[in-house]
Amino acid sequence: MRQLIIILFIFYCFDLLAQPVPAEDENIPFLMTFGNKAAKSWGDDDYSQTFFFLIPKEYTNPIFIRVFDPDCGGLVDEANGSWDTRMTYSVYGGEKCHSDEDAKGIDPVGNYRSGNLLATKSFAVNPRYDNKWYTFGPFNPTEGELDEKYGGFIFKMICEGVSGDDGNMYRYFVSTSQNENKRIEGANAFAYEYSFRMHNDPNEVSHIYPYIDQRTISVEQKNFDWDRDGIIRVVSVGRAGLPCKISGDNAWEQSQFKILEEEINTSLDFQFIKRKSPPVKNNNVVVSVKNQYGELLPFYTIPIGGVPKYKYSIGVKKKSK
Ligand SMILES: [Ca+2]
Ligand SMILES: [Ca+2]
Ligand SMILES: [Ca+2]
Ligand SMILES: [Ca+2]
């Protein structure tokens, strides 16, 4: 019994150290990208999702980018009639793979496929990859785009629904190993737009954590197809919970607010809190956050500076002003 407890404890620790995308603090069950013939009312506005993986400069061994349930069909995904959807995953590195303006947009337009194509693979419904991992790589970290500001090499992964009308649910993991999920110390992942599946359990709260840099004065949060599923609110070091406007079925909504001094160089916590009844099932939603210049802010899967906690003293000071 004692041995079992020790083994369980070790597994638990490994889990905490893991770097899944989405990550634990986000509590987002799956990323979601539909085939390009699906109606937008299913909850994906553009059938394309871009993620960036940041590998610290000090890390020099090969890396692998793993995809959980890359196919569209079987256990995990969302059927729309028969399974007829094909997903393409493409890994890019090299100059401009991230720094190109089009790569940092929310729409798959212009030169968003910038950089060197390092690997690509398409999946339809396929029991071989259903509920299982597929591994891209190995890649040498230097095949990414070096960005000193980020302190490392950046890789880009684009997932696109190139045919069909079903919903593809999936996750990523950047690993040191081809066959297992083994974290890379100091690595992170980020996106400028998140298209994801909410939990069905109304007690589960999902989070995204945009980072607020020194240039940010105000932000605009946009959400699509939230289906009026409860509330979306912002928590930060200076905010106990600011409600955002929420979208209905197949609709966009946006809210703007000013950034507090204390929020500079911290992450915001956008909380997605489901309504209790009637429950909303299989809810897919798209979210992005811009600054006052219209530049999109990155959401890090491991929030920079940690998950922000409201500090009562800061909030009270602000209110009394
Ligand atoms: Ca279909
Ligand atoms: Ca599947
Ligand atoms: Ca899938
Ligand atoms: Ca939805």
Residues 6+ apart with CB under 8 A from 204: 27, 198, 274
Chain segment 255-299, per-residue pLDDT in tens: 999 999 999 999 999 999 999 999 999 999 999 999 999 999 999
Chain segment 23-69, per-residue pLDDT in tens: 999 999 999 999 999 999 999 999 999 999 999 999 999 999 999 99
Query: What is the distance in A from the centroid of ligand 3 to the CA of 24?
Result: 19
15 — pLDDT class (breaks 50, 70, 90): very low
Query: What is the distance in A from the centroid of ligand 1 to the CA of 166?
Result: 5
Q: Is the pLDDT of residue 18 over 70?
A: no
Task: Find out whether 228 and 218 touch, Cβ atoms under 8 Å.
Answer: no
Query: What is the distance in A from the centroid of ligand 2 to the CA of 32?
Result: 12
> Which carries the bigger pLDDT value, residue 5 or residue 40?
40
pLDDT of residue 315: 59
Query: What is the distance in A from the centroid of ligand 1 to the CA of 37?
Result: 9
Query: What is the distance in A from the centroid of ligand 2 to the CA of 256?
Result: 37
Query: What is the distance in A from the centroid of ligand 2 to the CA of 260?
Result: 43
Task: Give the ligand at the shortest distance from the Cα of 171.
Answer: 3
Closest by CA position to 22, among listed 152, 188, 145: 188
Mean pLDDT of 114-139: 97
Query: What is the distance in A from the centroid of ligand 4 to the CA of 265?
Result: 31
Phi, psi of 147 (to 5 degrees): -135, 110
Residues 6+ apart with CB under 8 A from 284: 32, 34, 42, 43, 44, 78, 167, 195, 196, 197, 198, 225
Mean pLDDT of 146-173: 97
- pTM for the full predicted model: 0.91
Query: What is the distance in A from the centroid of ligand 1 to the CA of 163?
Result: 9
Chain segment 203-261, per-residue pLDDT in tens: 999 999 999 999 999 999 999 999 999 999 999 999 999 999 999 999 999 999 999 99
SS (H, E, C) the chain: CHHHHHHHHHHHHHHHHCCEECCHHHCCCEEEEECCCCCHHHCCCCCEEEEEEEEECCCCCCEEEEEECCCCCCCCCECCCCCCCEEEEEEEECCCCCCCHHHHCCCCCCCCCCCEEEEEEEECCCCCCCCCEEEEEEECHHHCEEECCCCEEEEEEEEEEEECCCEEEEEEEEECCCCCCCCCCCCEEEECCEEEECCCCCCCEEEECEEECCCCCEEEEEEECCCCCCEEEEEECCEEEEECCCCCCCCEEEEEEECCHHHCCEECEEEEECCCCCCCCCCEEEEEEEECCCCECCEECCCCCCCCCCCHHHHHHHHHC
Task: Find out whether 229 and 283 touch, Cβ atoms under 8 Å.
Answer: yes
pLDDT of residue 2: 52
Query: What is the distance in A from the centroid of ligand 2 to the CA of 50?
Result: 20
Q: Is the pLDDT of residue 321 over 60?
A: no
Task: Give the ligand at the shortest distance from the Cα of 249.
Answer: 4
Query: What is the distance in A from the centroid of ligand 1 to the CA of 167?
Result: 9
17 — pLDDT class (breaks 50, 70, 90): very low
Task: Give the ligand at the shortest distance from the Cα of 74.
Answer: 2
Task: Give the ligand at the shortest distance from the Cα of 132.
Answer: 2
Query: What is the distance in A from the centroid of ligand 4 to the CA of 242?
Result: 22
Q: Is the pLDDT of residue 191 over 90?
A: yes
Query: What is the distance in A from the centroid of ligand 3 to the CA of 76?
Result: 6
Query: What is the distance in A from the centroid of ligand 3 to the CA of 170?
Result: 5
Q: Is the pLDDT of residue 14 over 70?
A: no
Query: What is the distance in A from the centroid of ligand 4 to the CA of 8?
Result: 36
Chain segment 92-111, per-residue pLDDT in tens: 999 999 999 999 999 999 99
Mean pLDDT of 176-201: 96
Query: What is the distance in A from the centroid of ligand 3 to the CA of 33?
Result: 9
Query: What is the distance in A from the centroid of ligand 3 to the CA of 15?
Result: 22
Task: Give the ligand at the shortest distance from the Cα of 129.
Answer: 2
313 — pLDDT class (breaks 50, 70, 90): confident
Chain segment 67-85, per-residue pLDDT in tens: 999 999 999 999 999 999 9
Query: What is the distance in A from the centroid of ligand 1 to the CA of 22?
Result: 26
- Domains defined along the chain, listed by start: 20-197 (2.60.120.380), 205-320 (no CATH)
pLDDT of residue 11: 44
